[in-house]
Structures are given as C-alpha cells and as structure tokens.
Structure 1
C-alpha cells in the first residue's frame, strides 16, 4: 500500500493494530505506532484505543498506559485500558484506574454512572483470577449490584467465573442460583468450577439440571463431567457421556478422547481404557500419561514400563508425570508408604518408624501415614507411641478426613460414611454385614489377627464405609456382577482382609480404589499382594 503511494486513513491503523493484538506482534505494533507519530497527525480516539489494546494483548501494559496518559481526553479509552490491565492479571491497577475514572467524572459534575457500563465491570471482574484477588473481586461484586448490572448475563457469568477461579465455589453457586437466565457459558463455568475444586458430585448434579433446562452440552461441559466421573468412579455415567459425545459430534475431539481414557482407567475398567487409547488417531503426551498412569495405579507396573518404552520409540517426549509413573522405583512416598503398610501386617515397629521418617519428609501433610503408624503402635500396645503421633498431628494441625465410599447403582452415586445409619436400606445393609462377618469368622485361619467390625466400633469409627458400600452393592446387584467402590482414604488392614475373604465367600470380584491405588479382589486374593 505504501509502495503504491497510497496513504493510510483513520480506518487503516485500527485494523492493522487489531491484527497485531490477535497475533501478539509487539514489534510490529511499535512500528505502526512510530508510523502514526511520523505522519504528524493527531491520531483519532479509535486509533489510540487500538494502540492500547494491541500493547496490552502483547503483554506491554506499560506502553499502553503511556499512550493512555498522553491522550488529551482519555475518557473514551478508559474501558480499553481497564480491560488491558485485567488481561495482564493486574486487577489492582485496573481498580485504581476505575477509581480515577469516577473521580474525573465527579469533578466534571457528570453523573458517575454515565461512563460505567457493563463492559467496564466485565473487564474489572475478569481480572480477578486467583485467590489473592478475592477481596478485590468481592468489592467489584458490590459495584456490579450498585450500578444495577447484576442481571446482565455477561457480567453475572464473569462473577461466577471469578469466584470459581478464586476457589470460592459456594459464592459462585450463590450468584449462579440468583441468575434468572443461564446460557451455556453459565453452566460450563459452574461445572468446570466444581470439577476444578474437587466437588465431583456437584458436577453431576449441575449437569443433570443443565440437561433438564434444555441447554445442549458442548465439549467443555463433557470434559468437566468426565473429570467428575473419573474422581467418583461413576463408570455408568461416563458411558452415557461417551454416547452423548457421539450424538453431538464430539467423538473425535482429542481432549475428550484423552479424558475417556483417564475416566475408564480410574473407574477400574482398564480394558475399555486401552480400547479407547488404541483407537486414538494421534496420541499426545496427555494420552500416554492417562494410560500409563492407569496401569500404574492398578499395580500393572510391567505394562506401564512397556508403554513408556513404546511412547519413547514413537517420538513422543515424556513429561514429569509419565516419567515418574513408569519408573521401576518411584522417587516419591509410594514406596515408603507401601513399606509402612507391610510393617502393619508384620508388626515390625522398628522398620515402621524408619519408613515413617522417610515418608513424612516427602509427604508431611498426608494424614494417612500418621494414622497408619498410630495403628501399628496400637497393635503392640505402645500407648506412648500413639500419644507421640497424636502430638505430632496436633502440632502440624492435621485432622483426619471422615472416611467415605461411593458405589454406583442404576446411574446414581451412593455415598456412605463410616458408621452411616441414614441410608434408607441401613437395616438390610447391617444385616448383610452381620451375615458376612459370621461367614468370615468360620473360614478365617486362626493364626491371623482379624477383629472385624468389633475393632472398628471400639475405636469409635463405626463400620468403615467401604464395607457398607460393598454390602449395599451385594444387596442390590445380581450374582456375578463386578462391584466397584471408590474410597477417599487408605483401606485399613482389617477391611482389606475382610474384602478378600468376602470375595471368596460370595464368588464376586471387588474393585476398590483407595487413596493409594486400585485393589482387585478375587477368590480371596488381592492384586496388591497385601502391600499398599
């Protein structure tokens, strides 16, 4: 254009600068800025606003602010500069500029709401993306209500997203519930927020509400739901999501296919996980991580190593997760934790103390190891040792999470806590447990210690949740059905032994995922070989 002796007009530079912003070309943006200055003409507000936007999108908010400060009348570019600060995660600078904007309006005797619009507030709220920004975000929420934009869909969506990113899902849900109109962005923000903050059951609840509302899911929705299914072990719901993927045309989406591999592996179905993996057209490092990690948590280390070698041969470079998962000796707390568990079985206190010393150096906040050592001391009547562990836990402000287990039945996740008596089938469940306890005592070798439910009641924990989940599943499923249970804590030695024996008595396969790994119980034997 320049070589043809045509001169740019007021429309040329904004379009060029917009391209620089989209492509993130800071040098080109600076050259265009220099050309604007060399022409000697005063750039129009639209060009200045485009300059501010381009510099901010190129991660140069300082350059953008200089352009802003040099403007004779910057009022019309406030939104662009505020948006730029938010884009660069500078919410405090954005708020300061917002306050300056309001002061100037008040000094000019204008109505302070004239220039504050939905775009202004949307930009401000969007800049609060981490927990340290929460205080600013709450103040901005007040501004949204004060200026009357609480019902604006885009602004409300940004508030939900802001609270989710700051880890305040309850506040996000409060905003969500007050919204009279919800679009796909609203639902996705809430589903993704619950998924990212570990509220898997809430993800499935919101997803059910979304389907009833008539809003169709997209890939982002299904990704969050698959993540929740993986955490809960909700394989049945995960299968429904896979069918939904095919119906909606997302069957070839690589992110969803990788999520499917992870979901099936974490739900205990390695066969299906491998089938999905083998059908992938292109296998990324995420794909390999999902399948290698799946074999790892199922105790299939030899297959994990084979897959790792296959991945390297295919030219995919492993990341830290794949490398650690496929190592023959893992440099983390898993090895020392397994040794500590073995010490519980063999009552080797000296070796247990050594294993505990190493494992808490690697995972000082993992309360399961403290409880395990305390149980080892209890078994040998070492009350001084038990007291020492309790003092250590108190000093480190550690509290044991209540044990809970999930089991899926007819597309719904049934939750049980230790000592749970609120389930509508509680009487039948406890009656089933009594029968199983009697059968276990009949066949159990007398030389091994097994206290069963009596010990659980003596220590005040009540019947452990995995036993309740298994009894419920036995009551409600047909003979021969495989039963999968997900538990949030490490399975204790007594429950592990109980499940082994019950698998032989009722001729069922139990798959239990605890905090450390998967346990496959069949014919009185566990895949972990009693080391976990």
Structure 2
C-alpha cells in the first residue's frame, strides 16, 4: 500500500535562498520588471539543462525568485533530479507547483507511485486538487492497477464537482478499464452529457485492452451512428479489435475509409492494418499494405514478420527478416519472438541459435517473451537440454514461460518431468497460476506416456482445484489418451458426454485410434460426423479406407476411395525439411527428383540388409 508521504529528498522546506518565505503563484509577466522579462524570454528559448541552470543562476544572483516558471521547463527537459531539488526548495509550494510535478512524474518519468504520493501530500497541505491534477492521478492508478486509490480520488472528484470535466472523465474511464472494472468505466462514459471523440476513444480503447473486442466494435458502430467520424486513434484501436475477432469485412472498411478520406497511411495506421490482415489470415492484403508504405519503421516490419509467422509462412518470415536487416532497421524483442516462432515451425535451428546470440549480446535473453520463444524454438528443433537451460536461467517466469517448458517436455515424451515441473509451478510460485494451456501440455504429456489414470486425474483437477472449464483441446487430449490405450468405446462415450459438439480435432483423434484398434463400428459413426464437418479433408477418407483394408474389407475400402474421387477431394502431399549447414531444403512426397530417388533406393537396400520388413496391411 502506498504511503501518503513524499520521500525525504522531496519534502518541502524553507527556501535557503530567500529570507522571507512567501506563498508562490505564477506571476504575471506584464507586471514584471525588464530583468525578469529578459530572463523569461531566455527561459522559453533554452534547449538544454546546462542553459537552464545558467538562467537559474542569474535569477538567484538577481533575487528573481520565480521557481514556478523554472519548474515546467525543467520537466520539459526531463531532468528529474533537478526538478526534485528545485521543488524541495520551494518553501510553500502552491497547487500550480504540485500540478506541474504531478504531470512530470506521470507523463515524463512514469514514476506513478510518486504521483500518488504527491497527490496525498498536496491534500495534506490543504491544497485543492483540480482538473489539472486528477487526470494524471487516475493515469497513475491505471498503470499501477491501484483501484482503491483510484476510487478514493473519484470520490473526491464528486465532492469538488469535477465529474463533468472532460479530461477527468476520460482518465477515469481509462483507470477503471485498466483495473478490470469495465462496468464502472461504462457508467462514467454513459454519464457524460456531451461526449466528444476522446470520450468514445477512451471507452473503445478500454474494451480492447481488456479483451472485449466485440464490445469495442459495437461501441464503434454506435459512435458512427451518433455522427462521430473516427480519427487515427479510433482506427488503430478498431483494427486491433477486428484482428482479435477475425472481422475481415470491418477491417477492409477501415482501409477503405482511410483511402476515401485521403488520410495519411502512416506507420501507425499502416502497421495496424498489416496486423489486422495478418490475424485474419489475409496475408496478400497485409503484404500489399506493407509494400505500399513509403516509410516503414520497426513496428511495421514486426507486424508483417509476425503475420507470416502466425500463419505458418515461416520461409517468408525469415526472408523478410533478412530484408529488415538489409534496410538498416534493428530488430527488437518483438521481431525476435516472431522470427523464433518461424524457426520453431520448420526446425531452423542454426538461425535460432544466431538469434539467441543476438539477443544475449543486447541483453534481451532474459526478457520473458524472448526467453519463452527460445524455449519453444529449441524444444521443437530437438534441443531439449538447451530449452531447459534457457528456462532455468530466466530470472523471471510468467505462466507462458512455465507452459512453454511443460509443453516442451510433453513434446519430447518426458511426461513425468512435465508433471514434476507442474508441481513446482503450483507449489513454488504464488504469483503464477495454471491456465487452460498448462493443462493442454500436461494432458499431451499423459497421451505420449500412456498415463491414462493420471490424465483423468489432471482433467478433473482443472475444474475442482483451479476453476477452469475444459475446452475442446482438453477433450481432444482425453479422447486421444483413451484411444491410444485401446479404450475406443470409452472415448466415444466421452465424446457423447461433452458439453459442446466435438470438432474435427477430437473426432480425427478417435478415427485414427479406430484404425489402430481395427474398430469399424465406432469409426463409421465418427466418419459420419467428420464428413459433415469437413467433407473436403482427404485424410478422413484415407484413414477410413485403411481401416477397412486392415480388416480385408476391400469393397468398403475401395468405396471410400471412389467416394473421395467423386467428390473431387485430392490428397495433400506430405512435406518435410532437412537442414544442411546453412541451407534448409524442402521436400514433398511424390517428387520425381532423380537425386532423391537414388538416395531412397540406397536407403531401401540398407533397410533390406538390416532385415526390415514393411507393414503393408494399410497399403
């Protein structure tokens, strides 16, 4: 809890440069002597702390005691130590001096805790906070998530009749939204009698930052119905909401609005458009916007690289990363996370190692998000020991870091280690709580190790101990776990008891198990549901055909192949990558490369020598 006292170095005291303490107010320059006017003119022109100190010296020499004019300039020059020293020498600071310091602490130095302490000190001196005080106090509370202090200040706003002030209302909306109190934020918004664009933007932004993209879009539509046209801030916020919702049509409308109104496609709006198209899976439109931008900053490059990485276009992400470096734009942690994700997708270990070195040289290796991306990359590229080393070296870990390491252990079949790490997470880290992704990793570990009873226990633990509602991914893991154990009928019963309809992931897991168990009865029921969900997925037809073939039901097997051809469904060729020194080679099944065929023949001869007998039951 924050105290109400200012640190000792900032406590006001009698000014040693003045014999008689006076209550200071901003003087009127029109009534000032020529010397002060000259010094004031110089003060407005000064561009460095050194120049300002020279002017301050002249003011002291000539007994011009006007600290309230010095203080704003010091804050503009961002010298916290000098501003603190000057403020501490004001014998009786007035509300103007406090407001200037509170503004500087909040906007210039982001020392939010001191902002609140100055606010309480101001009140303890019987000075009246006003509409120049409260907005910065609420912003400080928002950044500190100090809801109690925010509510106390809100109460004072009512007592002073400032609740109708626009700046106060806007900052109140921000404070309540950041603290997770969207209901209170909306109440403040609804009570504004004359809303302006800033009011709308504050509430829309509040919804977006709290993950309520649907509410943000609905409020945006209300705003336009009320006759307000969006500005740059509105457009960027709404584009973020469109990306979260996958609302491509509204996102395209925003781009059309920018073009029709001849608004500048600056890096701020352009990057938001690229990000929206990337999240909606429209990478061609994202690249079109990217290529059309005359100026591209780091945020622009990051948006495009992340878009590629998120949509599985890893090669394009890495090519663009090279282009970013060639353009002289230095990568930051967001860039590294995007490229590491691409490396993880295709097993580009060498590039991943280069990024690890690059991050270490710039002190980014201990960043939570970079560290987590490194864990994921090393694990998916087969270097589990290195992933563990990165995890243990991280000074701070959040739930994403723990989840990444648990999933990595599960991916490598180290189920018992994954479960042990989960115990460390829940017993030794009070600030970190498991979430639904944690249990996906744990259940996946149980699947790989065949730990049926442990899987059941963890599935039940989700709701009983952590209040989590199982999602489709958890049901999919349980069905896979039961299926691999040969409990196909139990898995089918499990699906039928699900609180929501199974998706293709769950059904696909069970269909694969039916193939292994040669269970036709359940497979036919599963296939019927699968063909309704995804009639163009070749895998469903192929697996069903193989199930029949395993049981020598050749007519039924041929019928599935025929049905596949009649519906125009073609099989997607398999693809794999092999890293060779500094190059990554991509191979597709069915390729007729002479070199590849020659190598395959050699491998086949070696297999025969070793006595390998292929399983042709499914052929």
Report the TM-score when normalising by structure 2.
Answer: 0.59
CA displacement 1:155-198 (0-9 Å, x = unmatched): 11121122223333332222112111111111222222222233
Q: Are 1:224 and 2:345 counterparts?
A: no
Select 1:272's aligned residue among 382, 386, 401: 386
Question: 1:76-155 counterparts in 2 under 5 A?
Answer: 77-88=196-207, 89=213, 90-102=216-228, 117-155=231-269
List per-residue Cα deviations over 1:84-133 (Å, max 9, x = no partner): 2243132232133135335xxxxxxxxxxxx8643343344344233453
Tell me: CA distance 1:173–1:380, structure 2 relative to 1, closer, same or farther (3 Å).
same
**1:7 matched to 2:128:** yes
| Counterparts in 2 of 1:247 and 1:417: CA distance versus 1, 3 Å | same
- Name the CA shift for 1:12/1:438 in 2 (closer, same or farther; >3 Å): closer
Q: How big is each residue's C-alpha offset from its partner over 1:351-406, in whole Å with a ceiling of 9 and x where there is no partner? A: 34367479879998796565334224335652333256569989999874331111
**Other-structure match for 1:511:** none
**Match of 1:253?**
367
Unaligned runs of 5+ in 1: 103-114, 452-491, 495-532
Q: Which residue of 2 aligns with 1:320?
A: 439
More helix per residue: 2
Q: Distance in 2 between matches of 1:9 and 1:78?
A: 23
Cα gap change, 1:384 to 1:189, in 2 (>3 Å) = same
Report the Cα offset of residue 444 of structure 1.
4.1
Q: How many residues align?
A: 428
Give yes or no for contact 2:515–2:544 (8 Å, CA) kept in 1: no
Q: Assess if the C-alpha contact under 8 Å between 2:242 and 2:248 holds in 1.
A: yes
Deviation at 1:244, TM superposition (A): 1.1
* Contact residue 51 and residue 67 of structure 1 kept, 8 A: no
- Determine if contact 1:18/1:54 at 8 Å carries over to the other structure: yes
Range moving further from structure 2, 239-248 or 89-98: 89-98
Does the 8 Å CA contact 1:373/1:389 hold for their aligned counterparts?
yes
Is this contact kept in 2: 1:274–1:291, CA < 8 A? yes
Correspondence 1:326-337 to 2 at 5 A:
326-327=445-446, 328-329=451-452, 330=455, 331-333=478-480, 336=483
Find the aligned partners of 1:177 and 1:230 in 2 and give their Cα distance.
Answer: 26
In 2 relative to 1, CA 402–237 (structure 1 residues): closer, same or farther, beyond 3 Å?
same
Larger RCO: 1 or 2 (CA < 8 Å, sep 6+):
1
Structure 1 residues 284, 162: closer, same or farther in 2, change over 3 A? closer
Please say if 1:403 is aligned against 2:524: no
- Residue in 2 that maps onto 1:479: none
- Identify the residue that residue 59 of structure 1 maps to in structure 2: 182
Query: Aligned partners of 2:171, 2:382: CA distance in 1, in Å?
Result: 53
- Indicate the SS of the match to 2:281: coil
Q: Note the alpha carbon deviations across 1:479-504, whole angstroms, 9 max, x for none.
A: xxxxxxxxxxxxx988xxxxxxxxxx
- Correspondence for 1:22: 143
Gap change, CA 1:317 and 1:45, over 3 Å in 2: closer
Aligned equivalent of 1:428: 595
Partner residue, 1:383: 554
Q: Is the 8 A contact 2:305 2:321 kept in 1?
A: yes
Q: Is the 8 A contact 2:131 2:165 kept in 1?
A: yes
The CA distance in 2 between the partners of 1:202 and 1:183, in whole Å, is 19
What RMSD in Å do the two structures reach over aligned CA positions?
Answer: 4.2
Does structure 2 conserve the Cα–Cα contact (< 8 Å) formed by 1:169 and 1:194? yes
Quote how far apart the aligned CAs of 1:135 are. Answer: 1.8
- Matching residue of 2:288: 174
**Per-residue CA shift, 1:424-467, capped at 9, x if unaligned?**
xx33222322343345455546xx4567xxxxxxxxxxxxxxxx
Say which SS state the counterpart of residue 128 (structure 1) adopts.
Answer: helix
Alignment correspondent of 2:79: none
Decide whether aligned partners of structure 1 residues 393 and 428 sit closer, same or farther in structure 2, where only a CA change above 3 A counts.
closer
Say whether the 8 Å CA contact 2:518–2:547 is kept in structure 1. Answer: no
Query: d(CA) in 2 for partners of 1:31 and 1:291?
Result: 42
Give the Cα–Cα distance (whole angstroms) in 2 for the partners of residues 401 and 415 of structure 1.
Answer: 15
> Any conservation in 2 of the 1:195–1:227 contact (CA below 8 Å)?
yes
Name the CA distance, whole Å, in 2 between partners of 1:322 and 1:205.
31
Alignment-derived partner of residue 437 in structure 1: 604
Q: Is the 8 A contact 1:308 1:326 kept in 2?
A: no
Deviations 1:219-270 (A, max 9, x none): 1211122222111111111111111111221122233233222222211223
8 Å Cα contact 1:53-1:80 kept in structure 2: no
> More deviation in 20-29 or 240-249?
20-29
3-state DSSP of counterpart to 1:332: helix
Q: Is the 8 A contact 1:52 1:64 kept in 2?
A: yes
Partner Cα separation in structure 2 for residue 408 and residue 11 of structure 1: 61
Distance 1:51 1:305 in 2: 44
Change (3 A) 1:262 1:41: closer
Q: Using the TM superposition, give the Cα deviation of residue 144 of structure 1 relative to its aligned residue in structure 2, in angstroms.
A: 0.9
Counterpart secondary structure, 1:413 = strand
Aligned CA distance change for structure 1 residues 296 and 284 (closer, same or farther; 3 Å): same
Cα distance in 1 for partners of 2:618, 2:395 equals 43
Q: Is the 8 A contact 2:375 2:388 kept in 1?
A: yes
| More displaced stretch, 359-368 vs 136-145 | 359-368
TM-score (norm 1): 0.67
- Given that residues 134 and 166 in structure 1 are in contact (C-alpha distance below 8 angstroms), is that contact kept between their aligned partners in structure 2? yes
Contact 1:36 1:43 in 2 (8 A): no
